[in-house]
Structure 1
Amino acid sequence: MRVVIQRVSEASVTVEGKRIAEIQKGLLIFVGIEDTDKQEDIDWLAQKITNLRVFADENDVMNLSVKDAKGDVLIISQFTLHALTKKGNRPSYIKAAKPNIAVPLYEAFVKKIEQELDKTVQTGDFGANMKVALINDGPVTITIDTKNKE
């Protein structure tokens, strides 16, 4: 699994002109899933994200997690995170999981984040053409790939 995490002061997702999810201060997480991803990737990644210290404490030092900051979370599926661009000018998405594999893993990831935070998170619409709006706070943008855990 590969994620791009952005610390935001607000974010929302719109599908076909209708806003389907929005958050205030928290994390916007774009997640890409590969065929080889498993539950252990979900478990490791959810723990890593929910404990990642990227929010400012009283001394304005990034020392608080989204849990500590009581932030919101918006999770968006994004298969393009697995784009291969080495050859030619058209990205290849051969490493991205097909929906029959990706959807259950995506849903399990959302549930695991909710368990870690003990709260409901917002999501996009898997496979839909989504318009994502955000105000990146910092800016703070972090990428994590479960294939590079070590």
Structure 2
Amino acid sequence: MRAVVQRVAEAAVTVDGETVGAIEGPGLCVLVGVTHEDTPEKAAQLARKLWSVRLFDGGTPDDRSGELSCSDLNAPLLVISQFTLYGDARKGRRPTWNAAAPGPLAEPLVDAVVAELRALGAKVETGRFGADMKVSLVNDGPFTVLLEL
């Protein structure tokens, strides 16, 4: 699994002009990609990492030892499925999507990430799997990291 994680002041996802998920920060906007070998165990591991990874400022600028996680702040997450994270454009001018898992495999695993986050106590909003989504956000920092399991 891959996740592009952005620390945000706010984020929202709309489908056909309707807001289907939105958070007010500080929080994380997380784009999740699934590949063929991913499992429910990896989904749970990703959720635990997202809930505990220390991406928020704490302490003073000179002392980064006080950095905080979503669990420390009870910060919300907006989780959005993104098969294009497994796009490969190394050859030619068109990316291939062969490494991305098909919907019947990917959707339950993205749902498992969300379910595990909620079980950990997180407030989680989501996009709509397979829909043409419009994502808007205010990146705080900007601060973006890639997690890969």
TM tier, smaller: over 0.9
CA deviation digits over 1:42-88, x for unaligned, max 9? 12211111111111114254610011122110000000000011110
Scaled by the length of structure 2, what TM-score is found? Answer: 0.93
Q: Which amino acid in 2 is paired with 1:90?
A: R
1:137 aligned residue: 140
What percent of counterpart residues are identical? Answer: 41
Aligned partner of residue 125 in structure 1, secondary structure: coil
Residues 45/115 of structure 1: CA separation in 2 closer, same or farther (3 Å cut): same
Matches for 1:62-141 after TM superposition, within 5 Å: 63-116=67-120, 118-141=121-144
CA displacement at 1:34 relative to structure 2:
0.7
Aligned partner of residue 109 in structure 1, secondary structure: helix
1:33 aligned residue: 34
Deviates more, 1:36-45 or 1:83-92: 36-45
| Distance (whole Å) between structure 2 residues aligned to residue 6 and residue 28 of structure 1 | 5
Residues 70/120 of structure 1: CA separation in 2 closer, same or farther (3 Å cut): closer
Aligned partner of residue 22 in structure 2, secondary structure: strand
| Distance (whole Å) between structure 2 residues aligned to residue 76 and residue 127 of structure 1 | 10
Scaled by the length of structure 1, what TM-score is found? Answer: 0.92
| Distance (whole Å) between structure 1 residues aligned to residue 108 and residue 20 of structure 2 | 20
| Distance (whole Å) between structure 1 residues aligned to residue 40 and residue 51 of structure 2 | 17
CA displacement at 1:119 relative to structure 2:
3.4
CA displacement at 1:106 relative to structure 2:
1.1
| Distance (whole Å) between structure 2 residues aligned to residue 30 and residue 122 of structure 1 | 12
Unaligned runs of 5+ in 2: none
Q: Which amino acid in 2 is paired with 1:128?
A: A
CA RMSD of aligned residues (A): 1.2
CA displacement at 1:120 relative to structure 2:
3.5
